A and B are shown apart, each in its own frame.
Chain A
Amino acid sequence: MRSATQDGALVSLRGVRKAFGSIEVLRGVDLNVAKGQVVAIIGPSGSGKSTILRTINGLTPVDHGVITVGDITVTDPRVDKVALRHRVGMVFQQYNLFPHKTVLENVAMAPIQVLGEPRRQVEERAKDLLAGMRLPEKALSYPGELSGGQQQRVAIARALCMQPEVILFDEVTAALDPEMVKEVLSAVRKVAEDGMTCILVTHEMRFAREAANRIYFTDKGVIVEQGEPKAFFENPRDPRTIEFLDKVL
């Protein structure tokens, strides 16, 4: 029915442009993510990586272009927001757990309150997800009692509990102490390996290389280069990519 579904993409961005005032953050971005794919977006700070992510679930409205997720047109002003939130989960750099709610409530509240699913069923699922994140004993703790790495894993469980089709990971390890980066990355990896479609913005090049099927490199609001991880990291072609990889690797 739409071109996005015809070429098999779950998430599709076409000619997406966005300016904040006079600053053009996105200058024509095209991106396709197939179901089950793990895509990493890398690039220098201020290149628009996080903005791309935020346009996909409508957090940042775009000026031009079309974004679709499955059969939902995100850029349609009359888009069904709840359906979109149901389908697209997001994990933030700063975890953003609700400090006045227990871990279990954080994970289970939205499916119960927003999607209207039965409490018992959601709480079962939430407990399973917390177990999967190796946090089964923390269900009744408050976020403030957890380490950064544990909080971020709760945030991942919270996103999963909505049973989305795609999860956006926005620099999820950037705020963590170094010793906690690993536990969160392996949690993300587990989510990806379980078949979830993932789009991650990350500074962890090694992780991007190991976990992603496809790498997108952004610079100054455009996608400069994309490819399979191996080819991308071993034979970058664009001079901007080469320069960036020289700096970070």
Chain B
Amino acid sequence: MSETTILTDIFRWLPFVLWGFALNILMSILAIMLGTAAGVFLGFGQISHVRLIGRISRLATQLFRNAPWLVLLFYCIFLMPYSFTVSGVTYNVPSWLRATLGFSVPVAANFSEIVRGAIGSIPKGQWEAAEVLGYTRTVTLFRIILPQCVTRMLPPWMNLYALLITATPLASIVGVDEALARTQAAVQSEVQPGFLIPMYLTLLTMFFLYAYPISRVSAALERRFQTV
């Protein structure tokens, strides 16, 4: 009797939470895109022969990679302007967007390491062979080294994304109305005591169903590329 009411209650709340989850997905996709783009530059910076660029890139990478995601999130939320004005029109930066930027910082640092590691895993002989054929360092990087890196970077990149999506509920702490915040709202507005655990279980299942296939595919890719 009470089980069926719990189930109907969950179903009643499900669309509400799912819309929140859509925001988690949106934040994660934007953050992985931004973080990957920035991470590529940081990664290139790490292997730069210009000493200053190399040093700054390595410092930034290590700093943001070894900081708690939540702390970076707080920094981005509170350091970024709440609104900005372009030619007389004022735009508000919604908190979810600021949180997205906050997530993209650790993503960038982690991807920077993935890029550096992948480039470093290519034998030195490849660089020398290209050099002997007259290729410059930059052209070698893009034409010869990076094409060989893509398959090596893909599995860790997908793992990073799986980590990222599971980290997005942190945004609820800084007031973003995503899946966890909505689940909490649902739990608080239902009086029956048996509702809390199944509701959180529902949220857990949501994340699991989304993230698990990604890590499976990533593991499969890893196995496949290993044999080649």
Contacts and interface: CB of A to CB of B under 8 A. Distances in A.
Contacts of B148: 98-100
B81 interface: no
A79 interface: no
Interface stretch (B85-93, B129-137, B153-161, B182-190): B129-137
Given A99-B148, A100-B148, A144-B228, A110 B125 contact: no
B134 A96 contact: no
Nearest to A90: B132
Interface in A157-197: 158, 162
Central interface residue in B133, B135, B228, by most chain A CB within 10 Å:
B133
B49 to A, nearest CB: 14
Nearest to B129: A96
Interface in B151-192: none
Interface string A49-93: 000000001010000000000000000000001100110111010
Contact of A114 (B125, B134, B147): B134
B121 interface: no
Nearest to A158: B133
Given A100-B148, A144-B228, A81 B126 contact: no
Name the prevailing secondary structure of the B interface residues.
Answer: helix
A115 interface: yes
A114 B133 contact: yes
B125 A94 contact: yes
Given A57-B132, A85-B132, A100-B148, A94 B143 contact: no
Contact of A110 (B123, B135, B147, B228): B135
A179 to B, nearest CB: 23
Interface residues of B, number: 18
A88 B147 CA distance: 26
Central interface residue in B128, B129, B136, B228, by most chain A CB within 10 Å:
B129
Interface residues on A, range: 20 to 34
A98 B129 contact: yes
B126 A96 contact: yes
A92 B128 contact: yes
Contacts of B130: 98
B221 interface: no
Interface string A95-111: 01111100000000110
Nearest to B131: A59
A105 to B, nearest CB: 11
Contact of A85 (B125, B133, B144): B133
Contacts of A98: 126, 129-130, 144, 148
A208 to B, nearest CB: 23
A227 B62 CA distance: 57
A6 interface: no
Nearest to A99: B148
28 contacts: A57-B132, A59-B128, A59-B131, A59-B132, A81-B134, A81-B136, A82-B134, A88-B132, A92-B125, A92-B129, A96-B123, A96-B128, A98-B126, A98-B129, A99-B148, A100-B147, A110-B133, A110-B134, A110-B135, A113-B135, A113-B143, A114-B133, A114-B134, A114-B135, A115-B134, A158-B133, A162-B133, A162-B134
Given A57-B132, A59-B132, A88-B132, 7 more contacts: A59-B128, A85-B134, A89-B132, A92-B125, A98-B130, A98-B148, A158-B133
The 4 closest A-B pairs by CB, nearest first: A85-B134, A96-B129, A110-B133, A114-B134
Interface of A: 57, 59, 81-82, 85-86, 88-90, 92, 94, 96-100, 109-110, 113-115, 144, 158, 162
